[in-house]
Structure 1
Amino acid sequence: MWTLALACAFFLCIHLMISGTSMKEQIIAKIGGVAYYILFSLFSIGGLVWMCIAFGIALGDPMNVVLWKSGPFLRIAGLFGNFFAFLLVIGGLTTPSPTNLLALHKLPDKSIYGIVRVSRHPVLAGIGVWALTHIVCNGNLAAWIFFSSMLALCALGANNIDRKRLALMGDVYESIKRRTSIIPFVSIIEGRTAFAPEELGVARMLMAVSLYSAVTVLHELLFTGRAI
């Protein structure tokens, strides 16, 4: 269990204490941008692999106490939650967004469009929903540590991106922030933007449905455990 906690702490630190601070610029100034991104990618992949291996081991650890048991209702709700997570991630990866890397060079023609109306950070929001769903439906200590770390990374990462974009784009990004939200649907519920389902795209939705169905069916084979 302690190995899992250490792996999660390492993964969070390299993203929030290095990538999310001025330390990143200091390292780039010393070793160059290409070397930094190669090393950061290697550390990130290594940290994630370490987390996954440690999580698998921690599931059989005597310290892995059961905090709560999820009944049929929670498991059914978890399936819907995971489906929504897939919609957010696939939509976010395939829709021009003011928060993705391409926006550092040029904002999309329509800065608030499609899935961005639901969340200004759709990919991080989707991973966050996935993590929260797994926390609720897997009420043991190992799952709580693993998925809470992912949820924290998404929440802190989204705020970190907002801070950087605001410093870079000023009032332009401030206007985008006022009309959108990090948490899905909050800006729509508050009336700061309108929901436009036709902008989501049929192809994106079909892709999300297909990938979700494949992962759900193959979940036990891929991750040695049933889906939720």
Structure 2
Amino acid sequence: MSSSIVLSNPISHKSPPFRSAPRLLPKTSRPISSRFLLAPPAPSKVSRLSRKVLVRTSIRDNDAKETSSSSSSSGSPLVGEDSAVFELEAQKIVSWVYFSVILGVVLFILKVAWLDESPSGLGLGKAFIDSVSGLSDSPEVVMLLLTIIFAVVHSGLASLRDAGEKVIGERAYRVLFAGTSLPLAVSTVVYFINHRYDGVQLWQLQGAPGVHQLVWLTNFVSFFFLYPSTFNLLEVAAVDKPKMHLWETGIMRITRHPQMVGQVMWCLAHTLWIGNSVTLAASAGLIGHHLFGAWNGDRRLAIRYGEAFDAVKSRTSTVPFAAIIEGRQKLPKDYYKEFLRLPYLSITALTLFAYFAHPLMQAGSFGLHW
């Protein structure tokens, strides 16, 4: 529901549009400003690591000022990061080997502990679904409860991230976050697939001219609104140290909360297609969760990045295209290049695969009898 082709960098080396944008330090660190870079502290008061950060940031800041395509609508350099960047030369084979091993281990544990209902498995997923289903005979209520449980755990752990990382570290907290959220998400998806045609039929538009094409196109486009952090697979798997990023390019120019927008598009398309009360309940829960996530995400970024986030917020919008229409955001002339990157090509392939794999997903869900 969400959730390799090697390309050379389409951006000319003479005009690197965003790679030169400075990487921000958290709000708790010393703020970066042009005045600070022009007059750094005395070398005796700066550690070796700090000197490296200052020099690297100063170079990036100067490069950004010289690159018109990396400027905001006001002409000032971007303070956020470039999203969906994948540099082949920066990849390490050993990192992707670790990623493959971790992914395999996670899927194995998920199968044995959560999905396997045989005597050799724990079957915790079945027990969880049965406990929630026992609260109501209404599939709409159960669907909504499953969504709320996932939302509370997922957003709750996200809100506790700063405090949790200080206690157990970034990688360990990412494992805790993913290990808790993934089973709940799988349960919610499986229950939706198995019960999507239960409940009261409110309308029937399947077979109407143009409806299938509209629904298919809306779903397809919705996956391009994935939050750019999703592209950082090595961080998702905690191979690289997870970070809280402040993005400002690509889809972020259209909306500051692309995952929310993509989820709303997906929900509207599926609700239009299925047209019953269970799908309406699922959509209401998911949209409500992502609206809260948009507010909560802004709050957490404001705490982490302070004035830098305020700058990004001033030239972006939650409502798609609002900042562009209002003149607060000006798209670069070569804006399309921000999407000609391997992650977006991968999303295209995975979205098409997911569409044609619907029968496989349905068969797998039916086999669980949740």
TM-score range (shorter-chain normalised) is 0.7 to 0.9
2:211 counterpart (61, 66, 74): 74
Q: CA RMSD in A?
A: 3.1
Q: Which residue of 2 aligns with 1:45?
A: 182
Q: Distance in 2 between matches of 1:36 and 1:84?
A: 32
User: Which has a greater percent of helix?
Assistant: 1
The DSSP-based 3-state class of the residue aligned with 1:72 is coil
Shift of residue 198, structure 1, vs aligned partner: 2.9
The DSSP-based 3-state class of the residue aligned with 1:83 is helix
Q: Which residue of 2 aligns with 1:13?
A: 152
Q: Which residue of 1 aligns with 2:359?
A: 220
Counting matched residue pairs gives 209
Amino acid corresponding to residue 102 of structure 1 in structure 2: K
Q: Which is higher, the Rg of structure 1 or of structure 2? A: 2
Give the 4+ runs in structure 1 shifted more than 6 A: none
Cα pair distance change 1:59/1:78, threshold 3 Å: closer
The DSSP-based 3-state class of the residue aligned with 1:168 is helix
Q: Distance in 2 between matches of 1:116 and 1:193?
A: 10
1:163 counterpart (299, 302, 316): 299
Q: Is the 8 A contact 1:11 1:48 kept in 2?
A: yes
Question: Does residue 102 in structure 1 map to residue 243 in structure 2?
Answer: yes
Question: Does residue 146 in structure 1 map to residue 282 in structure 2?
Answer: yes
Q: Which residue of 2 aligns with 1:65?
A: 200
Q: Which residue of 2 aligns with 1:136?
A: 272
Identity of aligned residues (%): 26
Question: Does residue 210 in structure 1 map to residue 346 in structure 2?
Answer: no
Amino acid corresponding to residue 76 of structure 1 in structure 2: Q
Shift of residue 25, structure 1, vs aligned partner: 6.5
Cα pair distance change 1:79/1:201, threshold 3 Å: same
> Deviation digits for residues 38-93 of structure 1, max 9, x if unmatched?
444333122112212322343354xx101222233332211111121122228664
Shift of residue 163, structure 1, vs aligned partner: 0.7
User: Structure 1: any 5+ residue segments left out of the alignment?
Assistant: 96-100
The DSSP-based 3-state class of the residue aligned with 1:12 is helix
TM-score w.r.t. the length of structure 2 is 0.49
The DSSP-based 3-state class of the residue aligned with 1:102 is coil
User: Structure 2: any 5+ residue segments left out of the alignment?
Assistant: 1-138, 233-241, 364-370
Amino acid corresponding to residue 19 of structure 1 in structure 2: L
